[in-house]
Structure 1
Amino acid sequence: MSCASATLAVWASAWLAGVAAPDDVLDALAPWSEAHDVLAADDETATLTALPGPGTAPTSTTMLLAAVRRATPRGQARLVLPAPGDVRGLPGPGRFSREATTAGEGVLFPDAGFGVVPGPIADGVVRWSVHAVPDPGPVPECVALGEAERELRGQVRNAAAVLTDLGVARHRPGVREEIAAALRRRPRALWPDGMPPQVLRVLQQADEVDAILSAAAGDEPGGALSASAAEARSDALRPIATAVRQARRAAVAEAVRVLVSVPRS
């Protein structure tokens, strides 16, 4: 789904460009959790960012924004959505890359020299772990938004076909209602004014396809599907999941590009 990292990447970039206020960033993160806190992942990062490190009390996302501002008065944030076998956008081996891959998301602040990875630590609390990233690597080649949208639309058709071929609807007759309910339960992301309509459309489509993926992955081996059928299902759904990540990265990159180019008053 549209994730907390996508929200932070878009709003933090808008804030750094002077077209959003710090409170706007904090308000946009609120739908993802009742509370957010911040902690440097190690002593090196704590020294780099002046944020609390291991063994100390965490701080707030306000202090995270202050650390970003100290490190880079302008700059942009970069969304990463890695998965095993798909590490596009990661800076290379290191703790940030490992943690982001485990979480499936993260935000790089290339000009600031660090990245953050969100994860739940308690009911209603998300912690943003901050990692030093001295070499963020080159800006990854980004698929054009139009191309990503076409690929995603094709995968919508594929997803429907896969659900039918794998008999998910037969095993779980209420699967369509389940998908609709899952979409209603998801946090409604808040976006800055000036977000391009195509970006919003692609993000919504990605959420819809992701809900289909979750439904299609709902039967575990030993349940309605055999182990071999479950493996075939995973193989069939993998390219759809890749298209969802690609579409979200492209949409966020385009949103950032447009927002940071808005003239400041």
Structure 2
Amino acid sequence: MLATPADNPYEEPRSGRLTAWGNALLAGLVPPDNAAAAVLGEDETHRVTGLPGDTDGDEHGLTWALGRLRVLGAKGLRLALPDAGHPLGLTGPAEFNTRAMGVGEAVLAVGLPIGLVPEIEVYGPAGDQGTRVLWRCGTVNDGPPAGVPSLHEAERELTDGLREATLLLTRLDVAGAGPEALRALEAYRRRGHAELLAPGYSPRAVRVLESARQISALLAIALGGHGAAVSASEMAARREVLAPLVQTARRAQIAAYNSLADEPRG
């Protein structure tokens, strides 16, 4: 069974982990094996295919693949979190964008026309499932990623977004949604203690990412049907009202993950 990041809005996107730890590795801040282990997380395997020089069917482990990207001239990695109508972080061409939008995430190399899209396979019976990830490389265009703010801009947008989200969610009575919403909030809080990003990222980047994840979690609860609105028309209205905030949070996440590659370290 293939999965997408939308299947669990509280999980860090795998493309985010690859971006963060890949950037730390390319900056010389972590050893290759440590970076690969952090990207792997609780998954069983991560393999990479389609790198320059590969023949059909070649697959490599993360340590080798990250080293290969460095040898080829990659200066860093950038995250993309696209969805229908919003190619956030992508540069084209259409074929790569379509694949990335299909799973909602991708990683683009800085200094190389290479992008990676994950195929996430969940297998096994309920309660005893494993996850395998195959990163498929493709050709991407050289150019600025679509719709991505600077870290400073993202922080300013989040400040306004969090204020607006609080007002909207209060109006939608999400706080009074009952046990199901409370369980969803508790699930987010339990995951809130995980280490964010990787060595080398600034405190601002960590702060922006945590704020973006908090807003995303609250919006996921609201869009999951919690709160006072119960009819289909009310849910459609809720989606329309909250859509700009969803995009604000996604833009901020991308800015945080990309900051080690895109902004000078001080």
TM-score (norm 1): 0.80
Q: Which amino acid aligns with 1:89?
A: G
> 2:93 & 2:141 partners in 1: Cα distance?
11
User: Which of 35, 38, 44 is equivalent to 2:47?
Assistant: 38
For residues 50-84 of structure 1, the C-alpha deviation after alignment (integer angstroms, 9 at most, x for no partner) is: 2763xx7x442223213313422x51111111121
* Compared CA separation, residues 76 and 112, structure 1 to 2 (3 A): same
How many residues get paired? 249
Q: Which amino acid aligns with 1:35?
A: E
* Compared CA separation, residues 139 and 154, structure 1 to 2 (3 A): closer
Does the 8 Å CA contact 1:152/1:243 hold for their aligned counterparts?
A: yes
Does the 8 Å CA contact 1:71/1:111 hold for their aligned counterparts?
A: no
After TM superposition, the runs of 4+ consecutive aligned structure 1 residues lying more than 6 A away are: none
The residue aligned with 1:80 is 80
- 1:1-265 matched pairs, under 5 angstroms: 2-31=12-41, 33-40=42-49, 45=50, 48-50=52-54, 53=57, 58-72=59-73, 74-122=74-122, 123-138=129-144, 142-172=148-178, 175-185=181-191, 188-189=194-195, 191-219=197-225, 225-257=230-262
* Compared CA separation, residues 105 and 50, structure 1 to 2 (3 A): same
CA RMSD of aligned residues (A): 2.8
Q: Secondary structure at the match of 1:77?
A: strand
With 139-148 and 230-239 compared, the bigger mean Cα shift is at 139-148
The residue aligned with 2:3 is none
> 1:219 & 1:71 partners in 2: Cα distance?
47
For residues 211-249 of structure 1, the C-alpha deviation after alignment (integer angstroms, 9 at most, x for no partner) is: 1011101129xx961111010011111111111111112
> 2:158 & 2:222 partners in 1: Cα distance?
17
* Compared CA separation, residues 148 and 29, structure 1 to 2 (3 A): same
Instruction: Report deviation, 1:169.
Output: 3.5
Q: Which amino acid aligns with 1:233?
A: R
Q: Secondary structure at the match of 1:112?
A: coil
Q: Which amino acid aligns with 1:102?
A: G
* Compared CA separation, residues 80 and 5, structure 1 to 2 (3 A): same
> 1:216 & 1:176 partners in 2: Cα distance?
12
Does the 8 Å CA contact 2:81/2:254 hold for their aligned counterparts?
A: yes
Q: Which amino acid aligns with 1:50?
A: D
Unaligned runs of 5+ in 2: 1-9, 123-128
Q: Percentage identity across aligned positions? A: 31
TM-score (norm 2): 0.80
